[in-house]
């Protein structure tokens, strides 16, 4: 049996975590032979901690063979102690009529504190994945607080957007989702994101050729992927939870599986024309568990470049909005 890894999850009594935690404990994230210890972090409020106790009771009642222990914490120094993975889910979700960036002032400060504490107490090999919105900028804030952990340890999730785009392309072409590949998300997890359809494949051929509807790809497709989160809020009255949890499973599982190519928001370092210091979605290839290299050299046409410029502009604006929070 491998030694257990420690997985810290914030917002552990929230909606996303309710779908997420049983899947981590059952092996969907780290594999069927990898034991885990869950370090569940919530706010120091009686109602939240009581709800967290209930979540832990249910996890106990699943008798998951891989779940070797749980730590329930309302103190980040305890929650992140020696954590190998820190999954930052805990933050306010948006409601109807809001954009994710409207959450910045409230949520941003969560990530200054957590970034600093993770840097102090998490494991030497710690990796951080940010889900709480606006995810790209929150990852940037957390990374800016770190002195020990390098920026590549901090990623934000755009995998939900990749999965949404994959399903939309499959439906348009009338094929199974498994027939769609190489659809990558560039930029912000917001309506400005760019699902780069020109490089996508359906049954191994250019998706654009098979779909044969450039107007749909440039218009409805990009718009619907970008606004899918709002469509779910409008329908459900609450933001996506099961699909977000599933996307985080995919995000981390692919980051610990060498050879996987997938969309992740990472520090851009100027790639694809992004400002070097924003966290932007782009394709990466996992090189060893937790480490990746960005896939460069994908050619962009004028339409793609204009979309990337727009999503970059938004990321730069978000950064200036939180300038005083950056470490
Ligand atoms: P939720 O309100 O159901 O749960 C959030 C939980 O976080 C609450 O229990 C709250 O007490 C807790 N929390 C708040 N601040 C905390 C802190 N400092 N430390 C620990 N816990 C804290 O919300 P949810 O539906 O689970 O969504 C969580 C976040 O994920 C939201 O910001 C939402 O917008 C975002 N989200 C992102 C994506 C994505 O693709 N990146 C997808 C869906 C949702
Ligand atoms: C989503 O894309 O579903 C999430 O980011 C939640 C939201 O606010 O849209």
3-state secondary structure 238-297: CCCCHHHHHHHHHHHHHHCCCCCEEEEEEECCCHHHCCCCCEEEEEEEEEECCEEEECCC
Domains of the chain with CATH codes = 5-156 (3.40.50.720), 159-321 (3.90.110.10)
Looking at residue 117, its pLDDT comes to 98
To test the ligand 1 pocket, which listed residue (14, 102, 281) has its Cβ within 8 A of the most ligand atoms? 14
The atom of ligand 1 lying closest to the CA of 238 is 25
Question: Cα 296–137–321 angle (5° rounding)?
Answer: 125
Whole-model pTM: value is 0.98
Name the residue with higher pLDDT: 94 or 118.
118
Of the candidates 166, 114, 132, the one whose C-alpha atom is nearest the C-alpha of residue 239 is 132
Q: What is the pLDDT averaged over residues 69-95?
A: 97
* Per-position DSSP letters for 107-141, written without gaps between them: HHHHHHHHHHHHHHHS-TT-EEEE-SSSHHHHHHH
99 pLDDT above the threshold of 90: no
Q: Distances from the Cα of 76 to the Cαs of 34, 64, 122, 223, 289, in angstroms?
A: 24, 25, 10, 38, 25
Residue 204: how many CB atoms within 10 A of its CB?
8
Looking at residue 96, its pLDDT comes to 86
Distance 17 CA to ligand 1 centre (A): 8
What is the pLDDT of the chain when averaged over all its residues?
97
To test the ligand 2 pocket, which listed residue (19, 104, 132, 133) has its Cβ within 8 A of the most ligand atoms? 133
Q: Which of 25-29, 75-79, 96-100, 250-254 has the lowest mean pLDDT?
A: 96-100
Q: What is the pLDDT averaged over residues 13-32?
A: 98
Residue 170 phi, psi dihedral angles, 5° rounding:
-65, -45
Looking at residue 95, its pLDDT comes to 83
CB distance 319 to 278 below 8 Å: yes
């Amino acid at each position: 049996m491998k030694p257990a890894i420690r997985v810290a999850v914030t917002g552990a009594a929230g909606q996303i975590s309710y779908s997420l935690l049983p899947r981590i404990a059952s092996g969907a994230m780290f594999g069927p032979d990898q034991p885990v210890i869950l370090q569940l972090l919530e706010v120091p409020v009686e109602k939240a901690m009581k709800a967290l106790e209930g979540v832990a009771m249910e996890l106990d009642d699943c008798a998951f063979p891989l779940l070797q222990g749980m730590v329930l914490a309302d103190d980040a120094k305890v929650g992140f102690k020696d954590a190998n993975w820190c999954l930052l889910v805990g933050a306010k979700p948006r409601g109807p009529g809001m954009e994710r960036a409207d959450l910045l002032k409230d949520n941003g400060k969560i990530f200054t504190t957590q970034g600093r504490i993770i840097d102090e107490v998490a494991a030497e090999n710690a990796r951080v994945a940010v889900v709480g919105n606006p995810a790209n900028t929150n990852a940037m804030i957390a990374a800016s607080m770190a002195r020990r952990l390098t920026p590549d340890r901090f990623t934000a999730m755009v995998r939900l957007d990749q999965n949404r785009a994959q399903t939309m392309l499959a439906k348009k072409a009338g094929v199974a989702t498994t027939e769609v590949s190489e659809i990558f998300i560039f930029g912000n997890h917001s309506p400005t994101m760019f699902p780069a359809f020109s490089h996508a494949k359906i049954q191994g051929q250019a998706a654009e050729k098979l779909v044969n509807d450039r107007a749909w790809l440039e218009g409805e497709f990009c718009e619907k992927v970008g606004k899918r989160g709002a469509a779910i809020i409008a329908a459900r009255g609450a933001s996506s939870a099961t699909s977000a949890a599933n996307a985080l499973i995919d995000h981390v599982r692919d980051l610990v599986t060498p050879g996987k190519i997938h969309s992740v928001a990472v520090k851009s370092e100027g790639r694809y024309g992004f400002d070097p210091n924003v966290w932007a979605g782009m394709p990466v290839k996992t090189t060893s568990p937790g480490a990746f290299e960005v896939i460069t050299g994908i050619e962009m046409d004028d339409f793609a470049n204009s979309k990337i410029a727009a999503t970059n502009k938004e990321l730069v604006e978000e950064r200036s909005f939180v300038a005083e929070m950056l470490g």
